[in-house]
């Protein structure tokens, strides 16, 4: 999937701001041969019982974002959420939640975040056929703050 550096930063900042709870949001863009993220929309984590290890997106938030995306000829292509003090890969809960929905090809960005503010994103695609997530290469377009970008900076 393709995502701009500023959007990765927005996801990371959201994860830091919500620590130690999980934060979540919606990825809006286009899905042709490859998913391209055009906007990142943070939403409130509606999980009440265990917001440090779970997240829930309210259906009314989803509907609103879907309506707004269509006005710009875009669609919801995926979701992001944070894993405070946990690795940047989908948990068994994430897998189960994805398996319950209509989710083939939906992109999930999982960003790990710790108390020192370190954040690391990874991207995954859920496949109905295997009922599992596959890691998806995260192609970051544009410069990222404090981080090297492949092919953009000569190694010295």
Alpha carbon distance 10, 90 (integer Å): 20
Check if 22 is active-site: yes
Q: Are the CB atoms for 140 and 109 separated by under 8 Å?
A: no
Q: Are the CB atoms for 28 and 77 separated by under 8 Å?
A: yes
What token pair was written down for 116?
Answer: 């020192």
For Zn ion, which is the closer residue by CB, 21 or 94? 94
For Zn ion, which is the closer residue by CB, 4 or 18? 18
Could you tell me the smallest distance in angstroms from the CB atom of residue 81 to Zn ion? 5
Which ranges of 19-121 does DSSP label H, i.e. alpha helix? 59-71, 92-100
Check 22, 34, 135, 148 and give the catalytic one.
22
Could you tell me the smallest distance in angstroms from the CB atom of residue 91 to Zn ion? 5
The footprint of Zn ion (CB under 5 A) covers 91, 94
For Zn ion, which is the closer residue by CB, 66 or 91? 91
Backbone angles phi, psi at 78, to 5 degrees: 175, -165
The residue number with the shortest CB distance to Zn ion is: 94
Active-site residue list:
22
């Amino acid at each position: 999937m393709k995502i701009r550096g500023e959007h990765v930063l927005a996801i990371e900042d959201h994860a830091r701001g919500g620590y130690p709870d999980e934060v979540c949001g919606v990825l809006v863009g286009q899905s042709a041969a490859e998913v391209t993220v055009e906007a990142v929309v943070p939403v409130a984590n509606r999980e009440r019982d265990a917001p440090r290890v779970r997240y829930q997106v309210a259906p009314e938030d989803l509907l609103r974002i879907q309506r707004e995306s269509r006005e710009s000829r875009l669609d919801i292509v995926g979701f992001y959420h944070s894993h405070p003090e946990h690795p940047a890969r989908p948990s068994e809960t994430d897998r189960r939640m994805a398996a319950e929905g209509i989710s083939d090809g939906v992109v999930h960005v999982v960003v790990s975040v710790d108390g020192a503010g370190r954040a690391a994103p990874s991207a995954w695609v859920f496949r109905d056929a295997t009922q599992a997530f596959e890691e998806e290469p995260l192609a970051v377009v544009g410069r990222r703050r404090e981080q090297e970008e492949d092919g953009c900076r000569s190694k010295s």
